[in-house]
Structure 1
Amino acid sequence: MALTTDALLQSLSDHVLAHGLQTASLRPLAKAAGTSDRMLIYHFGSKEALVDDVLHYIADRMAHDLTALLTDQRSRSAGALLENLWQAAQSETMRPTMRIWLELVAIASREGGAKANVADQIVTGFLDWTAAHLTDPEDAPFVLTQFEGLLVLQEAGHAATAATGLKRLREKLG
């Protein structure tokens, strides 16, 4: 049975989420997908395109998963959406995605180029997603910057600081 691009992306994204971007070389990815590195190049054109497609696939999954968690689909205040995002980010299913995001940001900062373009596209998509779930869409940059700060603090070993900061933000935002 031939592997579809979607099935490959599912397997490849699972591998990247479990092992990080640093292990995203052709042979380990091919093994994870149950195919050869030549078939990956056939499907994606290059290693860079493959990794970019995997990152976009992960971002799309994240948006889908977040939307599924917001079961009532109503618009929220900035504080409420930030709290909802933070609760979602704490789940075992979302934590690996958050780590990959921070890893991508670090790579984009260090290397620029194609990874910076992918990071920019993901940020733009997340801003659009955030704006669509807010009572005031202009609050999307605020929510995103606060959320990113919380993630950085958590991954730097300061989860308590992040929790305290979120609590204070909620108090100030109402």
Structure 2
Amino acid sequence: MGRQPQPHIRDELLERCTDHAIESGLPTRLDPLVKSTGVSARMLLYHFGTRDDLFLAILRRARQRQLVTFGDLLRVRPNEPYARTLARAWATMTDGEGKPYLRMFSQLRVNAELSLWPDFQRSATLDWLEPLEIGLLSIGRPQTATLALAVIRGLLMDIDATGDTTRANRAFADFLALLTPPETAQAEST
């Protein structure tokens, strides 16, 4: 009779593996995860089955964390124009606590790990439409959620490809100005 799996140990290992992957990117081998967790590769495989099962579990846990973090950034705040909320969210996503998530998931889009999560691109797009739509409803522009998402994703890809954050930030500020009616922008500046 073999040892019974212990879900709390698996969850603790998954948390530590996810922390490592968010900080350093998803590894291609188990060695970095062995070092970060302090357990053997055999123990990781005991709890997760295969390397790919472990990697997929890490990606899903990281995605859960990202959804919570970015969802909070995109949440409507009373007495704050949504364009200002989006500006703060953009700054946090591109230069703050969101940056490791972007690095990790952009790596997923371009690497072979996509085979681990074939539907990732679709869900990574659709997950953000509703929070953006709700936020943009606060300024009477819910129909622009797809446009806002396309601008955000496009500029993130631009930063990833060129490293020119200054130019992308300027473009995002220009986009936010288009979302804000001139009379609202004027009232906010006074």
Question: TM > 0.5 between the two?
Answer: yes
Match of 1:63 among 47, 63, 67: 67
CA contact (8 A) 1:153 1:161 kept: no
TM-score, normalised via structure 2 length? 0.73
**What residue in structure 1 maps to residue 123 of structure 2?**
121
Structure 2 runs not aligned, ≥5 long: 1-5, 181-190
Classify 1:73/1:31 alpha carbon distance in 2 versus 1 (closer, same or farther; 3 Å): same
Alignment length (residue pairs): 171
Considering only CA atoms, is the larger Rg found in Structure 1 or Structure 2?
2
CA distance in 2, matches of 1:142, 1:78: 15
TM-score of the pair, normalised by structure 1: 0.78
Give the counterpart letter for 2:116 in structure 1.
A
Please, which runs of 5 or more residues in structure 1 have no aligned partner?
none
- Percentage identity across paired residues of the two chains: 25
What is the one-letter code of the residue matched to 2:61?
A: Y
Q: Match for residue 102 of structure 2?
A: 98
Q: Which residue of 2 aligns with 1:16?
A: 21
2:167 counterpart residue number: 161
Q: Is the 8 A contact 1:26 1:47 kept in 2?
A: yes
Q: Report if the CA contact (8 A) 2:129-2:145 is conserved.
A: yes
Measured at CA, do residues 50 and 168 of structure 1 come closer, stay the same or move farther in structure 2, by a change above 3 Å?
Answer: same
- The residue type equivalent to 1:55 in the other structure is L
Describe how 1:1-174 pairs up with structure 2 within 5 A. 4-21=9-26, 23-69=27-73, 73=77, 79-80=83-84, 82-107=86-111, 113-135=115-137, 137-155=142-160, 156-174=162-180
Deviates more, 1:60-69 or 1:30-39: 60-69
* Runs of 4+ residues over 6 Å off in structure 1: none
Task: Call closer, same or farther: CA 1:172–1:121 in 2, change over 3 Å.
Answer: closer
State which drifts further: 160-169 or 34-43.
34-43
